[in-house]
Structure 1
Amino acid sequence: MPIWKPLPASELPRIPLSRWRVFETEDGSRHFVGVDMFDSSGRVSSPIVAFDPVAREGRTQTGRIYELIGPNGSSWNVDYVWSRWCELYEVKAYTDVTERMFDGVNDDNSQ
């Protein structure tokens, strides 16, 4: 399965993600990982720079906004893209910090 570079944020400023998670790499950067609801492909964001757990959306280093739709989760294509992304960027270790992103938020939709 091919991996490709996404359109610039200026051309695609917002992306809704389903079956999403948030991973933190060994360098401390956090990334949205999920299914791009526009084309059902797996997607890994650039590093997250701002996150609003109540609105369930975050801005990344490129300026793109990711909207987290539905419950967090996974899919085979997301796992594949994350694995390939880790190989490409030589990420040796990461942690799933999805639940931590919602610490202190009293919202049943963040489960």
Structure 2
Amino acid sequence: MNGLERPWTRHLAGYSLEDGQGQVCSPVESFDPATAQCVTRSGRVYRLRGRPGLGQDAEYVWRRWKRIASITEERDVTQEVFAAISAAKVEGRHGVAD
């Protein structure tokens, strides 16, 4: 996520169960649909839980973060990520066909 002149990065925006507040992470470096885990550039590991979507607090933090970071363009990949996690769960239950 950035724009035309800077490379796009992916960020998680959501609600932290640990901190009890909305947050946006540093750029995601890797994503494993089988474990629903993301590792960020800072090395922090996030596990995606529950249904996707932003609550009021997370939506506020996301808008503010974009303004501070001068983000003018974005692409929401929430449904793609959720679909990958869902597909990995199905494969895990049924095994992968050769």
Q: CA deviation at 1:105?
A: 5.4
Residue 37 (structure 1) aligned with residue 11 (structure 2): no
Match of 1:65 in 2: 45
% same residue: 31
Q: Runs of 5+ in structure 2 lacking a partner?
A: 91-98
Change (3 A) 1:103 1:38: closer
- CA shift in 2, pair 1:68/1:103, >3 Å: closer
Give the AA of the match of 1:54: A
The structure richer in strand per residue is: 1
Instruction: Return 95-104 or 80-89, whichever deviates more.
Output: 95-104
The structure where helix makes up a greater share of residues is 2
In structure 2, what is the Cα distance between the partners aligned to 1:100 and 1:37?
Answer: 23
Q: Are the equivalent residues in 2 in contact too, given 1:59–1:65 (CA < 8 A)?
A: yes
Match of 2:63 among 83, 87, 91: 83
Q: Which one has the largest radius of gyration?
A: 2
Calculate the TM-score normalised by the size of structure 2.
Answer: 0.77
Is the contact made by 2:33 and 2:85 (CA closer than 8 Å) also made in structure 1?
Answer: no
Number of residue pairs aligned between Structure 1 and Structure 2 = 85
Deviations 1:21-68 (A, max 9, x none): xxx443310001100001221110100000001100110000000111
2:78 matched to which residue of 1?
A: 98
Equivalent position of 2:96 in the other structure? none
Give ranges in structure 1 of 5+ residues lacking alignment: 1-23
Aligned counterparts of 2:31 and 2:85: Cα–Cα separation in 1: 13
